[in-house]
Chain A
Amino acid sequence: MSTEAAVAEIQEPTDIRLSLAQSLVTNLEQGNTAAVEQLINDLASQQESALFQEVGKLTRQLHDSLAIFGMDDRFPDLAENRIPNAKERLNYVIEKTEESAHRTLNAVEEALPIAHELEENGSNMRQDWAKFTRREMNAEEFRQMSKRIETFLESVETDAKQLNQGLSDVMMAQDFQDITGQIIRQVIELVQEMQDGLVTVIRNTGSSSKSSNEDNKKNITAEGPQVNQEDNPDVMSGQDEVDDLLSSLGF
């Protein structure tokens, strides 16, 4: 509803109230009690109908605003696809970060006792060696120490290998950051778009502008990690499928 139309609708009852008030004054001056009472009632009912008109106007505005929501292509798409999709993506972020945290903790928990044992064995060995250099060791004790040194050196080799493996696992567990970062960035874009859309609706309340359709031209572009791989036959489920596809292309 335009402003001019709204003013015209209000103009008429104002005129009626003015003429009612004028005749009220005249009748009051003339001491016409019955007519005065009637006129006061008439004025009150005018007030009521103005209120009903306001409520009617608000109802129409609300209706128009709701119609814009329905007409803008983006809103049904947002509500039906992109918001549920964002929820799914954020759940995937939780999954990935949790998985990485467990992988890191597992590796650390496996590595810690190894490091502790290395420290302890090293310390014992140093004490043995000090005893030996002080010439406080008899032949039998020396034979036992030699044996311990041999096993220690062997264990150092395997322990170091295990620690190396654990540290590599910790490093590889950090790969979640890349994938989750991409997903969160996409969700931020979606939230930004929703915000822009809502601002447009607020600005356009009362006018029903239809947004231009986005160009649907098919363009192969980066989409980020695929979250729901099972439901999409076009998505490769892993390196093996990628390799199969590439070898079918002559790679």
Chain B
Amino acid sequence: MDKDMKILIVDDFSTMRRIVKNLLRDLGFTNTSEADDGITALPMLKTGKFDFLVTDWNMPGMQGIDLLKAVRADPELSSLPVLMVTAESKKEQIIEAAQAGVNGYVVKPFTAATLKEKIDKIFERIEAA
């Protein structure tokens, strides 16, 4: 796994973005950018050559699930690994995200260990494929 990979963190709450950013830095990932919803994230993804997307679900403007669907529908971005970090914890929502092609799903509140485990798993699968 490349520690220099470019990561976009999307969450409408700046505190949560800070927490995720700090956790990622603890894990060795320092090349991060932030966006506060899908509408701001999508153009950044299209031009920014990101390697990994970490997104919340519930955001004003464009929600995370719609951002995920837009990423998968875009031929340039369709293979971008996406980790959803969200408080949405209903069965049908998780199934919806899985069907939309999410690579990992972390429910809030979460721990640093959970985040690390999910990121490791996502990149293990990608490297094995």
- CB nearest to B17 among chain A residues: A178
How far in angstroms is the closest Cβ of chain B from A182? 6
For B95, what are the chain A residues with a Cβ–Cβ distance below 8 Å? 245, 249
Cβ-based interface call for A45 (8 A)? no
For B120, what are the chain A residues with a Cβ–Cβ distance below 8 Å? none
Cβ-based interface call for A70 (8 A)? no
For A242, what are the chain B residues with a Cβ–Cβ distance below 8 Å? 89, 94, 105-107
**Contacts A172-B19, A174-B19, A175-B16; A223 near B106 (Cβ below 8 A):** no
For B56, what are the chain A residues with a Cβ–Cβ distance below 8 Å? 178
**Contacts A174-B15, A179-B87, A221-B63; A238 near B22 (Cβ below 8 A):** no
How far in angstroms is the closest Cβ of chain B from A131? 41
Mask of B38-64 contacts with A, CB within 8 angstroms, 1/0: 000000000000000000111100011
Complex contact A246–B94 (CB within 8 A) = yes
A to B contact number (C-beta, < 8 Å): 93
Cβ-based interface call for B124 (8 A)? no
How far in angstroms is the closest Cβ of chain A from B90? 5
For B11, what are the chain A residues with a Cβ–Cβ distance below 8 Å? 178
Interface core residue of B56, B59, B88, B98 (most chain A CB under 10 Å): B88
How far in angstroms is the closest Cβ of chain A from B96? 5
Mask of B105-123 contacts with A, CB within 8 angstroms, 1/0: 1111111101000000000
Instruction: Select which of B15, B88, B93 is within 8 A of A177 by beta carbon.
Output: B15
Complex contact B58–A223 (CB within 8 A) = yes
**Contacts A178-B13, A246-B98; A222 near B65 (Cβ below 8 A):** yes
Cβ-based interface call for A181 (8 A)? yes
How far in angstroms is the closest Cβ of chain A from B73? 17
Q: Which of A224-251 contact B (CB under 8 A)?
A: 224-226, 229, 232, 234-239, 242, 245-246, 249, 251
Cβ-based interface call for A8 (8 A)? no
Distance between Cα atoms of A239 and B108 in the complex (Å): 8
Complex contact A222–B108 (CB within 8 A) = no
Complex contact A223–B88 (CB within 8 A) = yes
Complex contact B108–A235 (CB within 8 A) = no
Complex contact A178–B16 (CB within 8 A) = yes
Instruction: Select which of B89, B96, B112 is within 8 A of A235 by beta carbon.
Output: B89
For B114, what are the chain A residues with a Cβ–Cβ distance below 8 Å? 239
**Contacts A168-B112, A182-B58; A175 near B15 (Cβ below 8 A):** yes
For A181, what are the chain B residues with a Cβ–Cβ distance below 8 Å? 13
Complex contact B108–A224 (CB within 8 A) = no
How far in angstroms is the closest Cβ of chain A from B128? 14
Cβ-based interface call for B92 (8 A)? yes
Contact sample, A vs B, 15 pairs, CB 8 Å cutoff: A168-B112, A177-B16, A179-B109, A220-B65, A221-B63, A222-B64, A222-B65, A223-B58, A223-B90, A235-B90, A236-B89, A238-B107, A239-B110, A245-B95, A249-B95
